[in-house]
């Protein structure tokens, strides 16, 4: 009986196992092999050993794109988490009917294609007649050239990145609904302020959700591509329009693979990004042992 159930379990798992082998593990192994070759699709593949990895160390655009991506992620992740938590706490105080409406409003931008978000960035943050600068002008503030000034390109992308924070809001809302009310009531009876209750009761109770969103938003930030490529590299005219400030790591990887056909070099870039993500995630997991509270522990 147990053996039959085991085979049944394998049967249910088989679609995922086959999909993982064909679409994830297989391509990863192939890219690892290609990273040690000079492969351009058009000519014969040539084994070059670790030359692609050595070339990365001497490539200044790798350092530039990696720095841009890390800065963007360092700004994007905290902003997304703080704004999402604030919105979720507002929703938890709203009535059931209005909360359902606002949940839909906050989540709808998440299903917007990233390409559309890139176009939206150019429209909203246009330095001449964009909506953002028009609003700033009403307050007497002269808005910057968000899309051409290298100093303001990444802050602008961080702000437009908040467009798709709906999924993080929903996760926090679900976590907040499970915070024990009796703990809040007991803390209030002891004279704890609202801030003290938030810091000592709410945050520890939702620390698992905070940790989860920290990891997924960090990985998402490090893999940012669609909206940046659409806004700064989507057409021939934009190739010169986009400055080094908008050169993100995955954009550079894409250019190497599909514009210059340096597939072997692009595979090495992909594996470097994979190792960076693994290293950052391991650090986050290590630090989480101090700050994340699990009720079962």
pLDDT in tens, 251-266: 999 999 998 999 999 9
Neighbours of 150 (CB within 10 A): 11
Neighbours of 172 (CB within 10 A): 24
Biggest distance spanned by C-alpha atoms of the chain: 76
Each residue of 56-96: pLDDT tens digit? 999 999 999 999 999 999 999 999 999 999 999 988 887 66
CB 269 within 8 A of CB 256: yes
CB 73 within 8 A of CB 222: yes
Query: H helices then E strands: how many in the chain?
Result: 17, 2
Is 46 strand, coil or helix?
A: strand
CA proximity to 154, closest of 240, 214, 232 = 232
pLDDT at 212: 95
pLDDT at 241: 46
Intervals of the chain under pLDDT 70: 1, 95-96, 234-243, 295-297
Instruction: Give how far the C-alpha of residue 2 lies from the chain's centroid of Cα atoms, to the nearest Å.
Output: 42
């Amino acid at each position: 009986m147990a053996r039959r159930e085991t085979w049944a379990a394998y049967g249910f798992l088989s679609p995922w196992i086959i999909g993982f082998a064909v679409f994830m593990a297989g391509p990863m192994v192939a890219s690892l092999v290609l990273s040690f070759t000079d492969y351009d699709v058009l000519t014969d593949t040539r084994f070059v050993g670790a030359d692609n990895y050595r070339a990365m160390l001497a490539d200044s655009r790798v350092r530039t794109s990696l720095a841009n991506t890390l800065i963007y992620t360092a700004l994007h992740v905290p902003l997304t988490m703080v704004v999402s938590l604030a919105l979720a706490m507002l929703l938890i105080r709203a009535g059931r009917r209005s909360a359902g409406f606002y949940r839909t409003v906050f989540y709808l931008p998440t299903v917007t294609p990233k390409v559309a978000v890139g176009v939206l960035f150019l429209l909203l943050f246009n330095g001449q007649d964009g909506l953002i600068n028009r609003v700033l002008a009403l307050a007497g503030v002269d808005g910057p050239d968000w899309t051409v000034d290298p100093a303001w390109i990444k802050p602008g992308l961080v702000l437009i990145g908040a467009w798709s924070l709906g999924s993080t809001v929903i996760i926090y809302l679900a976590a907040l609904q499970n915070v024990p009310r009796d703990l809040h009531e007991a803390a209030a009876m002891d004279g704890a302020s609202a801030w003290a209750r938030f810091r000592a009761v709410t945050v520890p109770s939702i620390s698992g959700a905070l940790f989860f969103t920290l990891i997924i938003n960090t990985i998402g930030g490090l893999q940012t591509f669609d909206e940046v490529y659409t806004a700064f590299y989507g057409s021939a005219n934009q190739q010169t329009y986009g400055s080094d400030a908008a050169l993100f790591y995955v954009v550079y990887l894409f250019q190497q693979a599909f514009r210059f056909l340096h597939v072997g070099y692009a595979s090495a870039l992909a594996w470097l990004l994979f190792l960076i993500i693994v290293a950052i995630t391991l650090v986050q997991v290590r630090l989480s042992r101090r700050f994340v509270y699990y009720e079962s522990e």
